[in-house]
Chain A
Amino acid sequence: MELNYFLILSAFLFCVGVYGVLARKNGVLVLMSVELMLNAVSINLIAFSALNHSVSGQIFALFVITIAAAEVGVGLAIVLLIYRNLKSPDLDKIDELKG
């Protein structure tokens, strides 16, 4: 098994995710990018789990998936409320906490 393929895929996905989180204006797309980053991490975990013949990495990945589901539920609710208040999902428009 070639570990590097998995690591490269994971790194690529992670970078795409980081880019999405930093650059996209739409809140929904930011959330999706966060998911991409989480999944990149999961791929890493599973790859190392397979390499080390240890099940704990896979269990970790299962936890990540569960928490991600909960997180995205909360996140979408927040985005929905932002949309309801500002009539737009644009994250640049909220700077209420500017110092």
Chain B
Amino acid sequence: MLDAAWLIPTVPAIAFALITLFGKRMPKHGAEIGIAAVGASFVMSCIAASQWIDRVEAATGHSEGLGAFGKSVFRAAGEQGVEPVVNTVTWWISGGVHFSVGTTVDGLTVMMLFVVTLISLLVQIYSTAYMHDDRRYTWFFACLSLFTASMLTLVVSENLLQLLVGWELVGLCSFMLIGHWWEDLANSRAAIKAFLTTRVGDIGLMIGVIVMYFAADTFSIVGINEYALSSGAEHNLLLAGAICLFIGIIGKSGQFPLHTWLPDAMAGPTPVSALIHAATMVVAGVYLGARLYPVFYEGFSIADGGINFMALIGGVTIIIGAVLAFVQRDIKKVLAYSTISQLGYMVMALGVGAWTAAVFHLFTHAFFKALLFLGAGSVSHSGSHHSFDMKSDMGGLRKYMPVTFATFMIGSLALAGIFPFAGFWSKDEILVTAGEGGFEVFMVVGLIGAFLTAAYMTRCVYLTFFGEYRGHGHPHESPRAITVPLIILAGFSVVAGLINAVPLGIEKFTEWFEPTFAFPHLVHAEFDYGLAVISVTIAVVGIGIAAWLWFRREELGPFRGLTQRNALARRGYVFLENKYYLDHLYENVIVDGTRGVVARAFYWFDQHVIDAFVKGVGLVAARVGRFSYDVVDQKGVDGAINALAAGTGDAGSALRTVQSGRVQRYALLLFAAVGLLSLALYLVNS
């Protein structure tokens, strides 16, 4: 399966074609094709993952006898390590350069394959109930299949060009799916915004790919990684490439300041939000960061500690996203800002040299964020009459929707990083590694983020599931196609973290999935009980404060309606409500500025400089024109033309007798001509 990894993206791609062509005629309107294809991909991904694990165990097996010390020596010594399985075929050749397509399979790849196919499978099953009766049901499943196929292409790609193709396809599919209900202007605007905002980042990525090609003289991912680590690499070139590639990540993974498209992307159907936020679209950026890690590691000099571009952006994004989550009324927007904040964690972790922690967080986050989104969808589907407004249409739903409530609670606890749920292990690893690697500032940022995360999730859970029901429908539990994926994801959200539970002596995630070939030697920090206790305490305090504020708000006279009475608090709230005025900046200042000031300047230039010039040219041209009309045109040209016309007319009259309209007369002329020409040929040759 490691050699036949190309099958994994191909099957959903074929499913896309089949659903588009025949979906409407199938008994389940195409859903069965999509589920079967993605299921097949999931099985193949599991096989690939187990084969990869066998390969790693076989390679490290001989050092097992030496115990833990021997193992670390094996890694540190940097023998060739476990090579990725690379397969390529030539795509096209141009000017002697071979452009290839193929697959690279290593630990990171199989981990991503597993996550992407599993989440896609559950989302498709969920969608059969959620999208029931949708007018473009078949098309929706076709798009989901293509979405999965593009993401899998991106994951297995062998070189940066192929990755770029997958990257753009993912962007296209998210555009189509965010705008699935395009009849509403807001939805199609959101789709366009998502597409164009990520496009800004894509330009950076494209330039980065070109820079890396000219630096390493290859598009191959393994080749570029080897180049970045080789002693002949030019640092400035790597820095330029890393910055450009990182701009692509900023766009795709919703990092500050290009995160504004992500909350608007909530206009799409909820299963799509789950897919975008957990498995496909946004993790593509983090995946790129992890895939080309040597470039960033060397380019940003991460080994030296201190502040770098990547960690800085990640840290800013954590706080910005988390703070914005507090002022949202829409449950999906809370989750969207939470995703931005969690992606900030991943990017920051990459920036502080915690590769394994970043990828591990991507792994655990995929489960609980998909769970939370699907839970929110379940609430709106069966509890709040297709509304996502927590304040006006939800509340008290725990009595009506026990399964959704229980799974949503598990997801929230995992997100808040409470022991022993999945989020605890991965977040803790990020914090520990940041602290040990000389990035104490970012460790503190991470702890503040943990506090905020716990608090806004408490607010969200309270508004949705506690208190009195404020909606107008008849809330009930969702059908099984919705609850079963929730339960499966909840299971993963509980246990997924244990795969790398360092204090219990389990480091399987590091062992299986961290590359050992063409990869910088990273320090794995020891588990720090003190820090773990602090981070959990901070999260619990966050939950406590938020819960206390919300449950006891009747008694909290001074705090109630604070934003209405206190001018400073009011201003802060408005500032947050307007999302730091970033959208305002982009739309009014930058776009209108370009339209306003620059346009006015151009208008003046137009009127005074270009017009004057044009007028002068026009006057001269008019004089010349008058002269040429009188002399050249009327006398010279017209005379010649008239003579020609008269001659043509006469010749035509003479020749029209030939045009008899009779086929046989024409044939006679033909044969006569052939005869004459033959005669001429004969005379010339003899």
Residues of chain A touching chain B, judged by Cβ–Cβ distance below 8 Å, are 18, 21-23, 30, 91-92, 94-99
CB within 8 Å: A-B pair count: 33
| Contact A96/B661 with A18-B671, A22-B668 known, Cβ cut-off 8 Å | yes
Q: Please, how many angstroms separate the alpha-carbon atoms of A52 and B671 in the complex?
A: 29
CB neighbours (8 Å) of A99 from chain B are: 656, 658-661
Q: Tell me whether chain B's interface is mostly helix, strand or loop, or mixed.
A: loop
6 more contacts with CB within 8 A, not counting A91-B664, A95-B661, are: A22-B668, A22-B671, A92-B662, A95-B662, A98-B661, A98-B662
CB neighbours (8 Å) of A21 from chain B are: 664, 667
Which residue from B659, B664, B668, B671 sits with its C-beta under 8 Å from A98?
A: B659
CB neighbours (8 Å) of B659 from chain A are: 97-99
> Which A residue's beta carbon lies closest to that of B655?
A99
> Which B residue's beta carbon lies closest to that of A99?
B659
Q: Please, how many angstroms separate the alpha-carbon atoms of A94 and B660 in the complex?
A: 10
Q: Which 4 A-B pairs have the closest CB atoms?
A: A99-B659, A95-B661, A98-B661, A99-B656
Q: Please, how many angstroms separate the alpha-carbon atoms of A60 and B626 in the complex?
A: 65
> Which A residue's beta carbon lies closest to that of B659?
A99
Q: Please, how many angstroms separate the alpha-carbon atoms of A86 and B271 in the complex?
A: 71
> Which B residue's beta carbon lies closest to that of A98?
B661
B660 & A22 in contact (Cβ 8 Å cutoff): no
B667 & A94 in contact (Cβ 8 Å cutoff): no
Minimum distance in angstroms from A49 CB to a CB of chain B: 23
Minimum distance in angstroms from B132 CB to a CB of chain A: 56
Asked if B663 is at the interface (CB within 8 A of a chain A CB), the reply is yes
CB neighbours (8 Å) of A18 from chain B are: 671
- Which B residues between 454 and 472 are near A, CB-CB below 8 angstroms? none
- Which B residues between 666 and 685 are near A, CB-CB below 8 angstroms? 667-668, 671
CB neighbours (8 Å) of A22 from chain B are: 664, 667-668, 671
> Which A residue's beta carbon lies closest to that of B663?
A91
Minimum distance in angstroms from A52 CB to a CB of chain B: 21
Residues of chain B touching chain A, judged by Cβ–Cβ distance below 8 Å, are 656, 658-664, 667-668, 671
> Which B residue's beta carbon lies closest to that of A92?
B662
CB neighbours (8 Å) of B671 from chain A are: 18, 22
Please name 15 pairs of A and B residues whose Cβ atoms are closer than 8 Å in the assembled complex, sorted by A: A18-B671, A21-B664, A21-B667, A22-B664, A22-B667, A92-B662, A94-B662, A95-B660, A95-B661, A97-B659, A97-B661, A98-B661, A98-B662, A99-B659, A99-B661
> Which B residue's beta carbon lies closest to that of A23?
B664
Minimum distance in angstroms from A13 CB to a CB of chain B: 15
Minimum distance in angstroms from B441 CB to a CB of chain A: 83
Q: Please, how many angstroms separate the alpha-carbon atoms of A91 and B662 in the complex?
A: 7
> Which A residue's beta carbon lies closest to that of B675?
A18
A94 & B661 in contact (Cβ 8 Å cutoff): yes
Q: Please, how many angstroms separate the alpha-carbon atoms of A57 and B662 in the complex?
A: 35
Q: Please, how many angstroms separate the alpha-carbon atoms of A16 and B663 in the complex?
A: 18
Q: Please, how many angstroms separate the alpha-carbon atoms of A76 and B659 in the complex?
A: 25
Minimum distance in angstroms from A41 CB to a CB of chain B: 13
Q: Please, how many angstroms separate the alpha-carbon atoms of A22 and B675 in the complex?
A: 14
Minimum distance in angstroms from B672 CB to a CB of chain A: 10
Q: Please, how many angstroms separate the alpha-carbon atoms of A47 and B219 in the complex?
A: 61
Q: Please, how many angstroms separate the alpha-carbon atoms of A49 and B294 in the complex?
A: 71
CB neighbours (8 Å) of A96 from chain B are: 661
CB neighbours (8 Å) of B663 from chain A are: 30, 91, 94
Q: Please, how many angstroms separate the alpha-carbon atoms of A94 and B662 in the complex?
A: 7
Q: Please, how many angstroms separate the alpha-carbon atoms of A99 and B658 in the complex?
A: 8
Q: Please, how many angstroms separate the alpha-carbon atoms of A36 and B671 in the complex?
A: 15
> Which B residue's beta carbon lies closest to that of A18?
B671
Minimum distance in angstroms from A31 CB to a CB of chain B: 11
Minimum distance in angstroms from B445 CB to a CB of chain A: 80
Q: Please, how many angstroms separate the alpha-carbon atoms of A91 and B664 in the complex?
A: 8
Q: Please, how many angstroms separate the alpha-carbon atoms of A22 and B667 in the complex?
A: 7
CB neighbours (8 Å) of B668 from chain A are: 22
Q: Please, how many angstroms separate the alpha-carbon atoms of A94 and B666 in the complex?
A: 13
Q: Please, how many angstroms separate the alpha-carbon atoms of A88 and B663 in the complex?
A: 16
Minimum distance in angstroms from A83 CB to a CB of chain B: 15
A98 & B660 in contact (Cβ 8 Å cutoff): yes
CB neighbours (8 Å) of B664 from chain A are: 21-23, 30, 91-92
Q: Please, how many angstroms separate the alpha-carbon atoms of A84 and B664 in the complex?
A: 20
CB neighbours (8 Å) of A98 from chain B are: 659-662
> Which A residue's beta carbon lies closest to that of B674?
A18
Q: Please, how many angstroms separate the alpha-carbon atoms of A98 and B658 in the complex?
A: 9
Q: Please, how many angstroms separate the alpha-carbon atoms of A96 and B659 in the complex?
A: 11
Minimum distance in angstroms from A74 CB to a CB of chain B: 15
CB neighbours (8 Å) of A30 from chain B are: 663-664
> Which B residue's beta carbon lies closest to that of A25?
B664
CB neighbours (8 Å) of A97 from chain B are: 659, 661
Q: Please, how many angstroms separate the alpha-carbon atoms of A99 and B184 in the complex?
A: 63
CB neighbours (8 Å) of B662 from chain A are: 91-92, 94-95, 98
Q: Please, how many angstroms separate the alpha-carbon atoms of A72 and B379 in the complex?
A: 74
Minimum distance in angstroms from A9 CB to a CB of chain B: 20
Minimum distance in angstroms from A65 CB to a CB of chain B: 22
Q: Please, how many angstroms separate the alpha-carbon atoms of A61 and B661 in the complex?
A: 33
Minimum distance in angstroms from B676 CB to a CB of chain A: 15
CB neighbours (8 Å) of B667 from chain A are: 21-22
Q: Please, how many angstroms separate the alpha-carbon atoms of A30 and B668 in the complex?
A: 13
Minimum distance in angstroms from B42 CB to a CB of chain A: 55
CB neighbours (8 Å) of A95 from chain B are: 660-662
Q: Please, how many angstroms separate the alpha-carbon atoms of A98 and B656 in the complex?
A: 8
Q: Please, how many angstroms separate the alpha-carbon atoms of A97 and B671 in the complex?
A: 20
Q: Please, how many angstroms separate the alpha-carbon atoms of A81 and B659 in the complex?
A: 23
Q: Please, how many angstroms separate the alpha-carbon atoms of A99 and B671 in the complex?
A: 21
Q: Please, how many angstroms separate the alpha-carbon atoms of A96 and B662 in the complex?
A: 8
Minimum distance in angstroms from A71 CB to a CB of chain B: 15
Which of A91, A94, A99 has its CB near the most chain B CB atoms (within 10 A)?
A99
Minimum distance in angstroms from B657 CB to a CB of chain A: 8
Minimum distance in angstroms from B674 CB to a CB of chain A: 10
Q: Please, how many angstroms separate the alpha-carbon atoms of A91 and B667 in the complex?
A: 12
Q: Please, how many angstroms separate the alpha-carbon atoms of A31 and B664 in the complex?
A: 12
Q: Please, how many angstroms separate the alpha-carbon atoms of A52 and B83 in the complex?
A: 64
Minimum distance in angstroms from A38 CB to a CB of chain B: 15
CB neighbours (8 Å) of B661 from chain A are: 94-99
Minimum distance in angstroms from A16 CB to a CB of chain B: 13
